[in-house]
Structure 1
Amino acid sequence: MSRRNGDHEPNKWAGLAALLAGFFVILLDATIVAVASPSVQDDLKPDVSGLFWVTAGYLLAFSVPLLIAGRLGDRYDPKRVFLAGMGGFAVASALCGLAPSVGWLIAFRVAQGLAAAAMTPQPLTLIRRLFSADERGRALGAWGSVASAGTLLGPTLGGLLTASLDWRWIFWVNVPVCAIAILMGWRWIPSSPVHATQLDLLGAVTSAIGLAGLVWALLAWRSVAMPAIVIAVAVSVILLALFVFHERRMGAVALAPLRLYRSRGYRTASVAMAALGTAVIAMALPTMLYLQETRGLGPMEAALVMAPDAVIAAALSPVGGRWVDRVGSRRPAITGMALLAASLVIIGLVVTLNPHPWWAALGAAVLGVSNAVAWSPLSVAAMASVDSGVAGAASGMYNTVRQAAAVAGVAVIGAILAGLGQRPTLAFGVVFTFLTVIAIIGVMAASGLPKSSAGDDSDPGTAAGPGAGDEYPEAIDHVAKDAQPQ
């Protein structure tokens, strides 16, 4: 296949760097605002609700369009959708830094979230195209370490920029990163074959409104009258039920091809990733509350306690990726999820028994090993189970499940902390018990993965269409050949 106009010879590792830069700023901006909130409040004078929606608006806009964004990648080329999303993210970040009021800041944060949603499903599709089957584990291991680092470095970088410059720099710092990544991506990420399928407009509308109502209810239930929450949940359930019924009738052009869940690899990887995403995102708030409010550490010191996670994940992700390439997904995934449960037990014991707070660094170190090992095999197993024609939709569904589960986890953690606020030790104990149970569910799901990443016990024809399951290696060989310059 000849390269399109504007394409250059693919450089897979430079292309991966561009993808990881985009993924990093997406996750960074989900957490970077928290530590700068007092400065934002001093400058823009929002009430508590307005300050809450600076973060919640981003999460809402990020979570809802993921299904649609995955299908847009299939239709219009994931490279183009990713680069367009990154450009939009850079512009929205610049505008966030210029916001004259909290209302404008929330609006620009929503724009950031929409751009992030456009970007998020594309890396898994593009990594599948850039890397051969025996290298994909290393590439997705790097993706996983960046996911962990972006989530945990947000408070640290936010505190550093706010203290040394101004809170507006937590947004402006994205602009040069995005600009460099766009140039790298335009040059080194290859264009992909597009699939001229019609867009499922009814599915897009019902899924978007249904997910928006559900995520809004999860985020806002503590600050909004309960009748409004009940109505939102009821309408969401009806619309999502209609969406599922509609998708079953749409066949190949479905926005969310639900037949993918017939594949054991895709189904179990999605459940395990939902558990992983929930635990990693939801543990950040109670851990930081304990370290700062209960033990009196400053923001930077508290961030340093948890720093072993990001450092170890970054250092070990290539090793974890090579392990996946060598032995397949199942053993690394089980190991990673078991280490996740162990890390939560360690941190849970610290926050309930009150030893020296730096003991939490041991739990962070175990969490770092978990992140280095778990993200790659789950993503390899999920994407190895799908046909190239629905890779974008599969990635969109995979990321939607992860993000929706994480938002739900954060809502549950918030409810526990609010309900048991007068008894913090009990609250922290309940929180980490809940998260440990979630991690154990992830271990059980990972144990159901196929033994080989290249195969699946389900019928490939019914799981993901031609080219999935056992036929996947040949499909990948064909795609890899297409990526080479002619």
Structure 2
Amino acid sequence: MRALGGAASKWGGLVALLAGFFVLLLDTTIVAVASPRIQADLGGDVAALFWVTAGYLLAFSVPLLVAGRLGDLFDPKRVYLVGMAAFAVSSALCGLAPTIEWLIAFRILQGLAAAAMSPQPLTLIRRLFNEDERGRAFGIWGSVAAAATLLGPILGGLLTASLDWRWIFLVNVPLCAIAVVMGIRLIPGSPGGVARFDLIGAALSTAGLTLLVWALLSWDALSLPAAAIAVALLVGFWIRERGQGADALAPLRLYRSSGYLNASIAMASLGATVLAMALPIMLYLQEERGFGPFEAAVALAPDAVVAILLSPPAGRWVDRVGGRRPATLGMSLLAVSLLLMGLVVVSGLNPWWITVGAALLGAANAMAWSPLSAIAMASVDPDAAGGASGLFNTVRQVGAVAGVAVTGAILAALAARPVLAFGVVFGFILLVAVGGVVAAFRLPARVRAAASV
């Protein structure tokens, strides 16, 4: 498939997509630093404060499959811009929330809007760029993601300290408005598809994923039965999808492609391990080694800094040599960085060695993100790109939720023996990372070698 438009329109469209993506990721990381002020202002217990973030995560994770398919049917540009406008409105509502309960409700709306936006850029980048340019585009994409991750806590701290916690949400409104105007002018549209929307499949997947993600986040007495029901619903969804052909909500046939299957496994591993390691590292540095919040953030800052610097050249490397070598190197660096940080935590080495592990983690993100995304999207037919993107994002997001949930459960169960708890946690995430290395090694040698399904 040839890319649409000339060089100026391609890169202008990418800038418009990155503007919206930056706002989405900024809001994912900006909230944590303001949590104490939110609780002091609105009240509520720790459980309510937890659901300010967990509610967003739940609403963001569950509808990704549906959102990807809607992009196929109604044009990814249109769905993306509607999601961006809804994100602006829900952000304003969050900033005006009178109670903690209303804030949780508005955060859920914000998560739904983010889910509508999230799968569309992968589809649009596939449309905008030829195969030999996508690595560079995804590399720039990864650099912006790292910048948003780095700037989120900093901007959140500045806004909360100088103005009020409400501005961490209100600042999204003008940023979204700029992104919408840019998107209307610069992102190319399409007439959409003609396939039928599978309402039964949407109901099964939404109910199953809701129960699964809720069970992973909650870890209470109802989690096990909820997870069992979720598995039954998702099995029913799989059976339903097998008979839908071109109308499938999630094109599971894509897993016949080695490129799409192994890119999905590796990306889930990357998402799970990167998020899972953040909590134990922060707990270790602040509770065991006496770091303040700012010092702990500085110790992990090399992750984002290195990713910002390396993502664009890593993307160009993918265009030259294909995806397997960069992805395998990136996932291997991920395993090495986790091993190093785990040794620091368990062995009591100088805690500033964690900065070296964080730098390696940034290099891993830069090397792995671009080829995994590029190979996954090169493995699909153009008409199924939205569904493929939704499925790819869903696997990554559920993997991340599962990683965080298992890590939290281990830390809670072994709270009386912190050294053992940290050791078990890093053993678990290192095992997940090794699985990602194996998946990356099994990728096609070149992006264009991933046959269309």
Residue in 1 that maps onto 2:241: 247
Residues 147-181 of structure 1, C-alpha deviation per residue, up to 9 Å, x if partnerless?
34434543333233222222112212222221111
Residues 353-407 of structure 1, C-alpha deviation per residue, up to 9 Å, x if partnerless?
2333322111111111111111000011111110000000000000000000100
**1:84: how far off?**
0.8
1:350 to 344, 360, 378: 344
The separation in 1 between residues aligned to 2:162 and 2:297, in whole angstroms, is 16
User: Within 5 Å, which residues of 2 pair with 1:220-239?
Assistant: 220-221=218-219, 224=220, 226=221, 228-239=222-233
**1:8: how far off?**
12
Residue in 2 that maps onto 1:267: 261
Aligned 8 A contact 1:162 1:170 in 2: yes
**Does residue 178 of structure 1 match 2:195?**
no
Residue in 1 that maps onto 2:382: 388
**Does residue 414 of structure 1 match 2:412?**
no
User: Within 5 Å, which residues of 2 pair with 1:5-404?
Assistant: 11-221=9-219, 224=220, 226=221, 228-404=222-398
Unpaired runs of 5+ residues, structure 1, are 1-6, 461-467, 470-486
Greater Cα offset, 314-323 or 343-352 = 343-352
- Matched to 1:428, the amino acid is F
The alignment partner of 2:193 has SS state of coil
The separation in 2 between residues aligned to 1:438 and 1:369, in whole angstroms, is 18
The alignment partner of 2:448 has SS state of coil
Residue in 2 that maps onto 1:447: 441
Greater Cα offset, 229-238 or 407-416 = 229-238
The separation in 2 between residues aligned to 1:37 and 1:214, in whole angstroms, is 26
Greater Cα offset, 105-114 or 25-34 = 25-34
- Matched to 2:198, the amino acid is D
Residues 264-294 of structure 1, C-alpha deviation per residue, up to 9 Å, x if partnerless?
0000000000001111122222222222222
Q: Size of the alignment, in residue pairs?
A: 449
RMSD: 1.7
Aligned 8 A contact 1:9 1:190 in 2: no
Aligned 8 A contact 1:345 1:436 in 2: yes
The separation in 2 between residues aligned to 1:349 and 1:209, in whole angstroms, is 41
**1:206: how far off?**
0.5
Aligned 8 A contact 2:37 2:165 in 1: yes
The alignment partner of 1:283 has SS state of helix
The separation in 2 between residues aligned to 1:352 and 1:230, in whole angstroms, is 31
Q: TM-score, normalised by structure 2?
A: 0.96
Distance 1:309 1:202, change over 3 A: same
Distance 1:262 1:140, change over 3 A: same
Q: TM-score, normalised by structure 1?
A: 0.89
The separation in 1 between residues aligned to 2:6 and 2:133, in whole angstroms, is 21
Unpaired runs of 5+ residues, structure 2, are none
Aligned 8 A contact 2:51 2:104 in 1: yes
- Matched to 2:381, the amino acid is D
Residues 190-244 of structure 1, C-alpha deviation per residue, up to 9 Å, x if partnerless?
11341111110000000001100110011011xx4x1x22331222111111100
The alignment partner of 1:134 has SS state of helix
The separation in 1 between residues aligned to 2:341 and 2:190, in whole angstroms, is 44
Aligned 8 A contact 2:131 2:447 in 1: no
Greater Cα offset, 397-406 or 233-242 = 233-242
